[in-house]
Structure 1
């Protein structure tokens, strides 16, 4: 009996020592660059996983006091190894600069491993956004393989992804997975409505994404993923200006209070007295965000963004003005004003078996008011009206308004018992009443060929209302066939209804009769991925995209609209490879065939009519290389070699079959060499090269523009909470045009910016609480 009591006492004593050796560790894991909480970070020691962060980025675990090293792991981030972890710490994790096997959200609306997505997708990281110090989005988007975003001045732009440079609705722009404008009311300047100060990263899907997002996602879809409120108090204030009259102030602040996160992000930019005449502009962008973590399974997020933009519209230059570097403007009153307000509330539910449900309800207001330079036409022309008045021109002032409300919903179901299969079911509903009105203006052109002033008349060129209703449903299925081979398939049905009411009669410029048009399509997608090992794999896919006519193509400047949707078939093969820790490479080859493209046809009576005509073929190879050449030197190359050809295409009575499409460079490349010396901590320097190859200026292939090469230099330095930078854009002062077009009126050049020095300073307000050790 005595022996048994003695043994029990010894066990109790040893157990008490064991308990006394246990230490409670608590803290948060956040992103090094944004201070956002990271959910799902795996915490381990001695190769044994024992904890993970919750939706707030928080962790809590018990370990013995003699634990010497704790490892924090998260896809897309460098592993964090800490010795002597404090009992309460904020762990900052650094995004990896080379790992391709990262999480992406644009392929399935939820975070998904890159290796599971058989698509060509690229990510612009927070770090790249921060270091570029871009004053326009094209300065970062043009770093992506296959992308050429064309600068048209003052953040105005157009796009080319797997397409020539054009102004059609072939690209879909999203914010956190929700389109920023409704289908059918595409505007090539839509990214004016983005708040660059609130971006966390940008994901670019190249090729048709209609099976998930519907129409307009033909050349590609660009998803702007916004910042979430930080886990700790953070703030930033920056000022910058350049030698071309540009000034800008950025501001942000965010924090989390237990389960509630709050953030504000914005900037004000303006330009006056730039190198080019009539190029002043103002823009205010402001975003408010909140998120609330109800519990470990339910979250709510709300945001509202306001954009106010006004800019002069200088118009393009003819060849004489361009090559003589005469940047005076023929226009004195043309302008554009944009007001945009959008808001959404998103609910996420995470089920026990890792299944997920998302519902987002949104509302948008978009208004564009303009006196556009591209609508100004001379009364006199030697071929059309040789007796016209040389001091008279014609134009219009117009306003395009659209209000939207709708929802996006998706449920993703995991089937762990079926080789990790995943099924996603989704739908979207978009109700968008649209109004457009245009007044005729008579323009006085003086003897110096300057459009000096105008008189607005009561004459209405266009005055209509259109009710847009867009309903889409889709299903995605993903399943492993073997440990390395995975199949992914998707099918989507869309129906777009236009209920058109014209307030003008048939004799008007826009004389289309009242009508109800509808367009519907089923768009499939199927792909395979084969993974050799983590971060190394191949993919192949077929996808289809469709593009219904825009409202402006159906009803503006026409009498009887009879148009079919354009259809595109895309075939693609590609791969992504990580060679050690220092070199990564991704590549995709594609062929996309277009049918029923909408063109403007010149009729015998001199009027124009939109018609379906022609077939096109787009072929290319896109590639990206990231190479850590040494401890401090990083090289990046993004490029695309492509061919865009008319297979069957007639326009204005001319047959362009087998011609190269106009404004279609055969090679576009962007490369950058960055240096961060270890002996000079927090200093960076980079040299960037942007190349655009020669291309035909028109579909008739009658003349070529030789393209251009420009170089940009960037420096930056951080000292404690202060950051300073200097960028020299177009360092060699190259005369170049971002796009050149030829028409019966002559050659038209959109001049690129001359050499521009940009200098900025920022102060970061950081919380001083204890950081990781």
Structure 2
């Protein structure tokens, strides 16, 4: 394990040393040293220069997404510093951004998933696997903010946020991609863009099927998107529509110490009846209109509908959960712009009706009783006011500050008999209300044209999830559940030592209070605390005209800052203990070779460090190394072939390791797989 860590440090140290040397070479067609001066939109719901931003933002461009050809969004996001998505089965995942891999309501509520700046789900109804509802394969760009979001974003922008942006119709082309691979994978992606009678339009479709790496674990995922941009008088408008449909047979954990090393055992599915079916529909109308030379108005009117059914295979009950919600909402802002300042004053609203039902058909197993567990509805209302300001104090110093107040109100109605049934507590009808306040302030100082330093203090917040409030166990109460807060301090350095090299180094410290989590007994723990600190390095270097190196390295420590949890098991939590599923070291390094404009190759090394698999720090996973290869050939100007080989060395590894109920359990990683795709432009 020490050897693997040393290899990671040595390789990136070589790259950093080369950056500092400033060796001059021409940039590649897809340069590893992509400019830091890229435009991003996530920080303030408006275009800003990345190198002038106080947020730590990473970007995956359309070229990155196309080259990668990801089978799962984890392949894309895990290339970024501080990001670790543990892939489950099919489209499922657990997310970590400057955090451990979080589960349950923690995993659902700690990250904000957006499409063009609009949340994929209402904040109190978040989905732990929420990114499978995003149209990542069709995206024009994906932006990831590490750490708390700015004042324009509210609940769930706690540890970070992911913004999946639709392609600009004026820049998108017409193409179709066909793909086939091992493990029964086939896919099609199409893009059609052009001028219509109403404006510039774009239509995208993505279809994917896989038989599954494991027995009876097939996946079908269908995504359709459309965008139409136009102008009416002085008002610019953009209508954006998205639909996603998922049908998935789910494979469960494999049991036993290092069971993932046995390929035959890894392929077995102990619960072939487990499944997840879901759909999501979204519509958003983006409006922008100048009012005066310095004042403009912006608004987004949106609607969403989500529905999901899945078998809770990770619990002895294997209950069937049915849930969904429908929303309408508004994002709005007045923007005042002068020569050296931008002030943004906004109001947001989200009105949602949601429901959840849980039913166990299996015979009673101890406290897991047969029959109806929960059946409730929640009307949710969220209002928010925010102000943000950026000011160029001097030619070299830019200041940034903001404040967001948010009020969340839940009206809960129980459709089942009140009271306790087995391990399930069904509360009587009630209403709950939460207020949160999220400030931030930051600065960027340009040392010279090649270097800048930045810093930021911020608070991330989230109101409790509806599931945290209304899916309790006997003896628990809503009264102890408060909004979570995360206070963050970070500083960083952005370097452009030569035209062919870039580097961003960021360090952070965070403290999280009022943490809501489930212990090993399934009980909700409130008023918990955690600490987090780490260093992230991201960079690229064009070594020669044809050879480039890029990648990211992350080091982090995540610790419990309280004592509690299940007292009579190995999951008893001690203050200062490491949080489980939180590797100290992670890295992703890529070597790009482009000998001509007609051929490119990318060799990728993915390193995952060791981590504890339980809260008591008694069990651990040793980590792993993976090697991936991607080749592409431009046969003609309109025809492109790609070959992707994942896990070339056929390593036996775990996507996720866990220790629960007295034994190890794993989501085993896939064996070596091959995929071939053909892209046709017209």
TM-score between both structures, scaled by the size of structure 2:
0.90
Could you tell me which residue of structure 2 aligns to residue 753 of structure 1?
670
Query: Equivalents in 2 of 1:688, 1:319: separation in Å?
Result: 30
Q: Are 2:510 and 1:592 aligned?
A: yes
Residues 180, 675 of structure 2: 8 Å contact kept: yes
Could you tell me which residue of structure 2 aligns to residue 440 of structure 1?
360
Could you tell me which residue of structure 2 aligns to residue 207 of structure 1?
147
Could you tell me which residue of structure 1 aligns to residue 321 of structure 2?
398
Could you tell me which residue of structure 2 aligns to residue 675 of structure 1?
593
Could you tell me which residue of structure 2 aligns to residue 697 of structure 1?
613
For the residue of structure 2 that corresponds to 1:238, the secondary structure is strand
For the residue of structure 1 that corresponds to 2:533, the secondary structure is strand
1:611 Cα deviation (Å)?
Answer: 3.1
Task: Map residues 116-265 of structure 1 onto 2, 5 A cutoff.
Answer: 116-167=52-103, 168=107, 169-209=109-149, 211-230=151-170, 234-257=173-196, 260-265=199-204
Residues 135, 164 of structure 2: 8 Å contact kept: no
1:120 Cα deviation (Å)?
Answer: 0.8
Residues 501, 542 of structure 2: 8 Å contact kept: yes
With 203-212 and 435-444 compared, the bigger mean Cα shift is at 435-444
Query: Equivalents in 1 of 2:272, 2:447: separation in Å?
Result: 61
Query: Equivalents in 2 of 1:511, 1:410: separation in Å?
Result: 41
Residues 208, 220 of structure 1: 8 Å contact kept: yes
Query: Equivalents in 2 of 1:535, 1:250: separation in Å?
Result: 40
Query: Equivalents in 2 of 1:94, 1:355: separation in Å?
Result: 38
Q: 2:485 aligns with which of 534, 544, 567?
A: 567
Query: Equivalents in 2 of 1:239, 1:585: separation in Å?
Result: 36
Query: Equivalents in 2 of 1:277, 1:540: separation in Å?
Result: 49
Q: Are 2:559 and 1:645 aligned?
A: yes
- Residues 149-183 of structure 1 show CA distances to partners (whole Å, capped at 9, x for unaligned) of 11112221111111101122211011111111111
Residues 512, 561 of structure 1: 8 Å contact kept: no
1:355 Cα deviation (Å)?
Answer: 4.2
Q: 1:583 aligns with which of 498, 501, 512?
A: 501
Could you tell me which residue of structure 2 aligns to residue 23 of structure 1?
none
1:185 Cα deviation (Å)?
Answer: 1.0
Task: Map residues 27-42 of structure 1 onto 2, 5 A cutoff.
Answer: none
Could you tell me which residue of structure 1 aligns to residue 462 of structure 2?
547
Query: Equivalents in 2 of 1:461, 1:510: separation in Å?
Result: 8
Q: 2:603 aligns with which of 656, 662, 687?
A: 687
TM-score between both structures, scaled by the size of structure 1:
0.79
Query: Equivalents in 2 of 1:540, 1:458: separation in Å?
Result: 54
Task: Map residues 351-366 of structure 1 onto 2, 5 A cutoff.
Answer: 353=293, 355-366=295-306
Q: 1:282 aligns with which of 210, 220, 224?
A: 220
Deviant stretches of 4+, over 6 Å? 93-96
- Residues 396-416 of structure 1 show CA distances to partners (whole Å, capped at 9, x for unaligned) of 112111001101012221122
Residues 653, 669 of structure 2: 8 Å contact kept: yes
For the residue of structure 2 that corresponds to 1:161, the secondary structure is coil
Distance 1:304 1:95, change over 3 A: farther
- Residues 724-771 of structure 1 show CA distances to partners (whole Å, capped at 9, x for unaligned) of 110000110001111111112411101111100111112111xxxxxx
Could you tell me which residue of structure 2 aligns to residue 431 of structure 1?
351
Residues 156, 189 of structure 1: 8 Å contact kept: yes
Residues 264, 289 of structure 1: 8 Å contact kept: yes
Q: Which runs of 5+ in 1 are unaligned?
A: 1-78, 81-92, 378-393, 446-455, 766-773
Distance 1:197 1:652, change over 3 A: closer
Query: Equivalents in 2 of 1:557, 1:440: separation in Å?
Result: 17
Could you tell me which residue of structure 2 aligns to residue 104 of structure 1?
40
Q: Are 2:279 and 1:339 aligned?
A: yes
Residues 439, 457 of structure 1: 8 Å contact kept: no
Could you tell me which residue of structure 2 aligns to residue 293 of structure 1?
231
Residues 197, 251 of structure 1: 8 Å contact kept: no
1:293 Cα deviation (Å)?
Answer: 2.5
For the residue of structure 1 that corresponds to 2:314, the secondary structure is helix
Q: 2:661 aligns with which of 729, 741, 744?
A: 744
Distance 1:293 1:751, change over 3 A: same
For the residue of structure 1 that corresponds to 2:125, the secondary structure is coil
Q: 2:255 aligns with which of 318, 334, 357?
A: 318
Q: Are 2:232 and 1:309 aligned?
A: no
1:192 Cα deviation (Å)?
Answer: 1.0
Could you tell me which residue of structure 2 aligns to residue 490 of structure 1?
402
Q: Are 2:527 and 1:610 aligned?
A: no
1:337 Cα deviation (Å)?
Answer: 0.3
For the residue of structure 1 that corresponds to 2:350, the secondary structure is strand
For the residue of structure 1 that corresponds to 2:578, the secondary structure is coil
Could you tell me which residue of structure 2 aligns to residue 70 of structure 1?
none
Distance 1:426 1:516, change over 3 A: same
Q: Which runs of 5+ in 2 are unaligned?
A: 1-25
Could you tell me which residue of structure 2 aligns to residue 507 of structure 1?
420
Could you tell me which residue of structure 1 aligns to residue 539 of structure 2?
625
Could you tell me which residue of structure 2 aligns to residue 31 of structure 1?
none
Residues 101, 534 of structure 1: 8 Å contact kept: no
Query: Equivalents in 1 of 2:526, 2:209: separation in Å?
Result: 42
For the residue of structure 2 that corresponds to 1:314, the secondary structure is coil
For the residue of structure 1 that corresponds to 2:595, the secondary structure is coil
1:294 Cα deviation (Å)?
Answer: 3.0
Aligned CA RMSD, in angstroms, stands at: 2.2
Query: Equivalents in 2 of 1:96, 1:411: separation in Å?
Result: 38
Residues 622, 639 of structure 1: 8 Å contact kept: yes
